[in-house]
Chains A and B, each alone.
Chain A
Amino acid sequence: MSSHGITRADMQHVHLPRRRRVNRLMEGLAMLAALIAVGMLVIVVWSVAKRGAGAINLDLITKNPVPFSFEPVAQGLANAFVGSLVLVGLATLMALPVGILVAVYLNEFAPPSVRTFVGLALDVLNGVPAIVIGIFVFGLVVIGRGQSGWAGAFALACLMLPLVARSTMEVLALVPSSLREASLALGVARWRTTLSIVLPQTIGGVLTGTVLAVARVSGETAPLLFTSSIVGTQTSWSPFHALQSVPVAIFELSESPDPQDHARAWAAALVLLLFILFTSLAARWLATRSRRKLAASR
């Protein structure tokens, strides 16, 4: 909407040119701010793509790092990719069922006061810095038993839980109550109504939330530093000892003075970034799709 019509109104007088200048200045600044944000994204992604693309090869995901060598050898980060897969996979297995159950309880059973209280706890949990979560799991499990994949996965699960629970609650709230009432009126038990009528409606939303949570924690370094970072260079699938992960590997390589290490860090960063961008896009697509479906059924 342009403001041309207003300029001729009676109340506009001497200051009008200045007011319009201020207006144009502010509009320009707002546009500049948006440009800066998009520019930042482009610069970061471009930097990673430019430096990472040259260093990506099959060795990156098939070969393990070589600890000490005087001549250049083909090495990769296979142990980190495998470790990340195990850690994020286990974290999802821990957080997903609990998150869904929390959401079901809060949306279907809990009295309003409990709902507010637990909702607040979820928000607080979501706000706890990732490094503090790492320290918490360090104090809970690692002191005494040592680092392990389980400890790392549990730390990641703590970060995923509020995300999964919140997104599940959002879709549960969208399920029309007429569906519940229809099922209950037919004499179907509450638990069956919840499990086989209400929950299936939310699959799209739950999936979206899970994918977003996976995207978020697969890039998390802080919770793993104290729980699953002191590792060898061999590939391992067993969560009973510490596992390397892609973000921790990038973190360590970025602090190294060796340019070869930097090249591998950029390559790993590019793979991680592509994975996260792809999953976020997939989540976005899933979200619009499932929301449209729910809205249609309403």
Chain B
Amino acid sequence: MSSAELTPEATRRPFTGPRVRFGDLVLQVVAGAAAAAATVLVGLITWKVIDGAWPAITQYGVRFVTRVAWNPVVSHELYGAGSFLFGTAVTSLLALAIAAPLSIGIALYLTELAPRFLRGPVTALVETLAAIPSVVIGLWGILVLGPVLRDHVEPGLHSALGFIPLFGAPSTSGSSMFTAIIVLTIMILPIVSSISRELFLGVPSELKEGALALGTTRWEMVRGVMFPYARGGIAAALILGLGRAVGEAIAVTQVIGGGVFIHWNLFDSGDTLASKIAASYQGATSKLQVGSLIYLALILLVFSLVMNLAAQWIVRRVARRQGLGART
């Protein structure tokens, strides 16, 4: 055999052809460029937001994050994210606290309890809730929900539970953190419940039937088998719901009322990071104020990145563990 002439490339030539097909190259390059662009976009967003916030970052540094101030008066300018961080934390965590048990209940009803003919339609209805634009929910929140809460719910809660600082004097306008919490609850409910529903559907029926056959009630089966099985996924769903609540700007701006202060009365107005940005869309004038607004956006962006990656990481870890569990 004369190996000098028959290089590996040469022997393969008759079968595959070494020439790169021009069309293949074009498609691969064009499609690859699109994929690269999508990836670069994420980096570009991060860079542009940091770049825009730069005047405020150089002026205030990290101190900005905790300072409670928002004073745009020329020559007395002072900005900080403290009160908005507080408002964001209170509204989104309480909304999540209400939405979490509700969503899990919905998912359980849809997977275990509902009669078969109801499952499809009710699932579709719950998902439709997610399709309602936030501006429409906000419109409803400010013109319908706010007044109802102010006149009928807040006084009752105040007189019954007024000793808890959360339930202070009822609002006068209907714009309050409480209204924002209810609105956010409505918005994250469909997200968490539809992910939980899929998780519950994924619980192997041998496990469920095994538990029932051992004499557990249905609730004991849910608690002992389904919850442990879906625990990681539910955590990820809750993180995604929290991310949605933290990032929601429009509906919250419409109902929360605004203001730069930290207080525990849910029935008073407040502001979140996102709602402050949205509310200032026409007002920002000085370079420092614009920079500070974008600084708020940067904090939001960091939040959303961290929460997203955390949720992804949990999902991946759970998938790997369950993959291993299935094989052994």
A251 to B42, CA, bound (A): 28
Closest-CB distance, A99 to chain B (whole angstroms): 8
A139–B34 touching, CB < 8 Å? no
Closest-CB distance, A224 to chain B (whole angstroms): 9
B254–A251 touching, CB < 8 Å? yes
The number of chain A residues with a CB under 8 A from chain B is 96
Closest-CB distance, B96 to chain A (whole angstroms): 15
B51–A139 touching, CB < 8 Å? yes
A165 to B41, CA, bound (A): 14
A19–B217 touching, CB < 8 Å? yes
Mark A234-265 against chain B: 1 for CB-CB distance below 8 A, else 0. Answer: 00000000000001001100110000001001
Contact A41/B38 with A27-B113, A129-B246 known, Cβ cut-off 8 Å: no
Which chain B residue has the least Cβ–Cβ distance from A136?
A: B45
The residue that A129 contacts in the complex, of B23, B240, B274, with Cβ under 8 A, is: B274
Chain A residues, Cβ within 8 Å of B30: 101
Can you report 12 residue pairs joining A to B where beta carbons are below 8 Å apart?
A6-B217, A106-B35, A127-B307, A128-B305, A129-B300, A135-B49, A138-B52, A219-B135, A220-B133, A221-B133, A254-B138, A276-B131
A37–B27 touching, CB < 8 Å? no
B34–A105 touching, CB < 8 Å? yes
Chain B residues, Cβ within 8 Å of A81: none
Chain B residues, Cβ within 8 Å of A57: none
A250 to B243, CA, bound (A): 25
Chain A residues, Cβ within 8 Å of B240: 127
Interface residues of A (CB under 8 A from B): 1, 3, 6, 9, 11-12, 19-20, 22-23, 26-27, 29-34, 36-38, 40-41, 44-45, 47-48, 51, 97-98, 101-102, 104-106, 108-110, 114, 117-118, 120-125, 127-133, 135-136, 138-140, 143, 158, 161-162, 165, 189-192, 194-195, 215-216, 218-222, 225-226, 229-230, 247, 250-251, 254-255, 262, 265-266, 269, 272-273, 276-277, 280, 284
B133–A276 touching, CB < 8 Å? yes
A34–B106 touching, CB < 8 Å? yes
Q: Does B203 contact A (CB under 8 A)?
A: no
B140–A44 touching, CB < 8 Å? yes
Interface residues of B (CB under 8 A from A): 21, 23-24, 26-28, 30-35, 37-39, 41-42, 44-45, 48-49, 51-52, 101-106, 108-110, 112-114, 122, 124-126, 128-129, 131-140, 142-144, 186, 189-190, 193, 212, 214-220, 222, 240, 243, 246-250, 254, 274, 277-278, 281-282, 293-294, 297, 300-301, 304-305, 307-309, 312
A215 to B140, CA, bound (A): 19
Chain A residues, Cβ within 8 Å of B104: 33
- Tell me the dominant secondary structure on chain B's binding face: helix
Closest-CB distance, A34 to chain B (whole angstroms): 4
Chain A residues, Cβ within 8 Å of B217: 3, 6, 19-20, 22-23
Chain B residues, Cβ within 8 Å of A29: 105
A47 to B39, CA, bound (A): 41
- Tell me the dominant secondary structure on chain A's binding face: helix
Contact A48/B106 with A27-B218, A98-B38, A102-B31 known, Cβ cut-off 8 Å: no
Chain A residues, Cβ within 8 Å of B26: 191
A44–B136 touching, CB < 8 Å? yes
A117 to B104, CA, bound (A): 31
Which chain B residue has the least Cβ–Cβ distance from A11?
A: B215
B133–A26 touching, CB < 8 Å? no
Chain A residues, Cβ within 8 Å of B35: 101-102, 105-106, 110, 114, 118
A47 to B148, CA, bound (A): 13
A60 to B28, CA, bound (A): 48
Closest-CB distance, B276 to chain A (whole angstroms): 10
Closest-CB distance, A263 to chain B (whole angstroms): 11
A51 to B222, CA, bound (A): 42
A102 to B219, CA, bound (A): 45
Chain B residues, Cβ within 8 Å of A162: 38
Closest-CB distance, A294 to chain B (whole angstroms): 20
Chain A residues, Cβ within 8 Å of B125: 37-38, 41
B39–A117 touching, CB < 8 Å? yes
A102–B38 touching, CB < 8 Å? yes
A277 to B124, CA, bound (A): 11
